Amino acid sequence: MARRTTAKGGRYLYAIVAAPGEQTYDFPGIDGAPVYSIAKGRVAAVVSDVLNNRIRPERRHLAAQQGILKGLLFRADAILPMAFGIIADGPQAIQKILSRNHQTLLQQLHRVAGMVEMGLRVSWDVPNIFEYFVNTHPGLRAARDRFLGPYRNPSQEDQIELGRLFERLLNEDREAYTEKVEEILSHYCREIKQNQCRHESQVMNLACLVPRDGQDRFEEGVFAAAKLFDNNFTFDYTGPWAPHNFVELNLEI
């Protein structure tokens, strides 16, 4: 990525877009700075001027970056969102990056052209996930009774073994449920990526690459998948977002 500037007058990088020329945008950047593009060939970097060589990940800065990416979704056919905090020394440094990585950027832009990212998180909606598994997995219930029965003083090894069994069953169920959901959503998405679950009661955390004009159909797919599950599960989908999870850049600087 672009190296961070050591002097004033840097350019904060929000995204790469396909563009034949340079343009300005009507939404503000970090600290209210004007947002514009710096082009090289068939690609352009969307930037704003910054005075500091580092931008803290404060709520207002994160909100500004997200707002720009949201705005670009409706102004560019394809965007490659950049990670937070990327600052280049100036226009020449950005043009150098665009020139050296021109073909790679074009390939990535082609991959996500006309697409948005939708998120889907499925969770177990139960008061206690361990007790839920005890009640739905006879093997775990038997192990719990064996190790933690009223006349037992479980050792640390017993507790570890019980925890390992619970974790194995948890991951097996996650894999099985995710496979069912992906089988349905594959008819509505170009690509699906599995992200790490954020907490123990989360079943799956999916990122889905969806055509911009296919968001309603994606919603239909989510409801179709939800019908396979009972009231112990919740489905939460979000978006549209810039395709963060489907941009794979290893830029030469």
The per-residue pLDDT of the chain, averaged, comes to: 91
Residue 251 has pLDDT above 90, yes or no: no
Q: pLDDT-based confidence at 3, cuts 50/70/90? A: very low
- Pair of tokens at residue 205: 């955390």
Measured CA angle at 164 (ends 162, 170), to 5 deg: 105
Residue 96 has pLDDT above 70, yes or no: yes
- Pair of tokens at residue 81: 């969102």
Q: pLDDT-based confidence at 1, cuts 50/70/90? A: very low
- Pair of tokens at residue 18: 């396909």
> In the 3-class helix/strand/coil scheme, how is 37-50 assigned residue by residue?
EEEECCEEEEEEEE
Q: pLDDT-based confidence at 157, cuts 50/70/90? A: confident
Q: What is the pLDDT of residues 38-88, one digit of tens each?
A: 999 999 999 999 987 888 999 999 999 999 999 999 888 999 999 998 899
For 162, 165, 173, 231, the CA distances from 145, given in Å and listed in that order, are: 10, 13, 22, 27
